[in-house]
Chain A
Amino acid sequence: MTAALSGRSTAVRLLAALVVAILGWVVPAAAHEVRPAYLQIDQTDDSHYTVLWKTPLLSGMPLPVVLRLPDDVKHVVEPLERPLPGSILQKRVISAPAGLAGRQIAFVGLQATITDVLVRVTWLDGRQASAIVRPSQPWYLVPAEQSFWSIAWDYTALGINHILYGLDHLLFVASLMLIVRDWRVLVKTITAFTIAHSVTLALATFGLVTLPPPPVEAMIALSILLVAAEAVRMERGKVSLTITWPWVVAFGFGLLHGFGFAGAMVDLGLPQRDVPLALLFFNVGVEIGQLMFIAAILAVACSARLIFTSGRSMRIAAAYGIGAIAAFWVVERLDAIFL
């Protein structure tokens, strides 16, 4: 007994030592320099810009990083250096006849440090761009002004990308398709889902309605679980609101899924002046992605139905599969909220 206790005590001590050793190894590695360098560029007229370049002092030494502007940029006012507590501020005025949009600003030597650079660019018309430059990629590409088509293309692609990688939204659509058997009802159901998520996506993007993302994500998982359960009930000959009017349920839960899309869109960032345009094309992209998914599912389902007679078993298996994944997400997302 005593030997067992002694052995356990030794094991605990060894474990504690291991934890301390790991912490000792990890913590210094994670001790990243918390004060980033800062670059601010403000356009003052068509070809002139003021540049603020603030670098932190590390143990009293200046950051060994040199700001390199595009080759055709000329100094109108040479860099004026001013020491501040813990940092050095450099101010200059530059002339860039070809503009800075689409040009690269390099931070020579940054790759040898662990310091980030926060970059902010403001144009005359009020547009702003900002980014954090990491030592692993020590340059900043000033974004070019986006045209209508560029915004339309970018946000449509983002919308398609988001829905095709958003497995929860796809599984919700798939579970609705297990319930709907008629083409007209399918069109009605998908349209209701589209209208609903478009409404909440717009409301959330414009900041008119906001919901915290974690509960929304948990509710989205729950919505998939509920519709998958309804699909199983339907196969067992039961009747319910979801089975009779799937488009009503699609609309209700679609409102919820719109908040999920909005969270993703806000994360992606919005062009300052073109929020409605970006929103429109993001939504268009989501619809295109959704239709691509529905077309693929219908093609496989119709083909399988032609070959295999056990359609009911396959639908039940699919509903259980979707339900199991959704149940896992519900637990996982609730865990993230409460624990």
Chain B
Amino acid sequence: MPQEALAHGVLKGVGDFYAGLLHPIVVPAELLAIAAMGLLVGRSGLATCRRGIPMLAAGVAVGLGLASVVTTSGTTTPLVVAALVAGAIVTADQRVPPWVAAGLAALAGTALGIDAAPEAKSHIAAVTSGVATIVGSTALATIIAALALRVEKHWQHVAAQVAGSWITAWAMLYFAYQLALLSR
């Protein structure tokens, strides 16, 4: 997948902070997972948002820490699984209990943290980049969740479901592509 190739060292020449901050935005699988989680927790209500977003942030931090001890390849799959599940729930216009959303957000966050682990030259650069990734992913999820939380009008409900269906469709395409690669 192109995003797998892009996942590390995706932003050259922008400095450690901006490379970390923008990583979750420019890597499609990470962006998709964040968008799905934001939509899911936002559509599930305020209580879910209050648990889901901190869990996502904590998950990213744990994932960044784990990246030094586990392999960073193959982290796209759990990211896409999380996006698929969250996107399907949003598309079906279902709400989930806060602990379910929080668990899914933690899983997505951990996969994202491992995926976004910086190939930094020094410890300070790695910390700078990692902190920026936590800030960037949490800020983006917060904005999307707040937008989803404010959905009131009928067309806004439809728009949220359309967004969820696009996320689901993209995730399914990813798995179809993986199957096609395996069958070759």
Contact = CB atoms under 8 A, between A and B. Distances in A.
B53 interface: yes
B143 A307 contact: no
17 contacts: A164-B18, A167-B17, A300-B139, A300-B142, A300-B143, A302-B146, A303-B143, A303-B145, A303-B146, A304-B142, A304-B146, A306-B146, A306-B149, A307-B50, A307-B53, A307-B146, A308-B50
Interface string A76-112: 0000000000000000000000000000000000000
Contact of B15 (A165, A296, A299, A308): A165
Contacts of A300: 139, 142-143
A307 B139 contact: no
A226 to B, nearest CB: 24
Interface of B: 15, 17-18, 46, 49-50, 53, 139, 142-143, 145-147, 149-150
Nearest to A303: B146
Nearest to B42: A307
A308 B49 CA distance: 9
A26 B145 CA distance: 55
Interface string A21-37: 00000000000000000
Contacts of A307: 46, 49-50, 53, 142, 145-146, 149
Contacts of A306: 146, 149-150
A296 B53 CA distance: 18
Interface in A47-75: none
A308 B145 CA distance: 12
Nearest to A310: B50
A130 B147 CA distance: 53
B132 to A, nearest CB: 11
Contacts, number: 28
A174 to B, nearest CB: 13
A297 to B, nearest CB: 9
Contacts of A164: 18
Contacts of A296: 139
Nearest to B141: A303
Interface in A295-321: 296, 299-300, 302-304, 306-308
Interface in A180-208: none
Q: Which 9 pairs from chain A and chain B are nearest by CB?
A: A303-B146, A300-B139, A306-B146, A303-B143, A307-B49, A303-B142, A304-B142, A299-B143, A307-B146
A213 to B, nearest CB: 21
A163 to B, nearest CB: 13
Nearest to A302: B146
B86 to A, nearest CB: 17
Contacts of A302: 146
Contacts of A303: 142-143, 145-147
Contacts of B46: 307
Most buried by A among B15, B17, B146, B149: B146
A90 to B, nearest CB: 38
A65 to B, nearest CB: 30
Contacts of B18: 164
A254 to B, nearest CB: 24
A300 B139 CA distance: 6
B177 to A, nearest CB: 33
Given A300-B142, A303-B142, 4 more contacts: A165-B15, A300-B143, A303-B145, A307-B49
Nearest to B147: A303
Contacts of B146: 302-304, 306-307
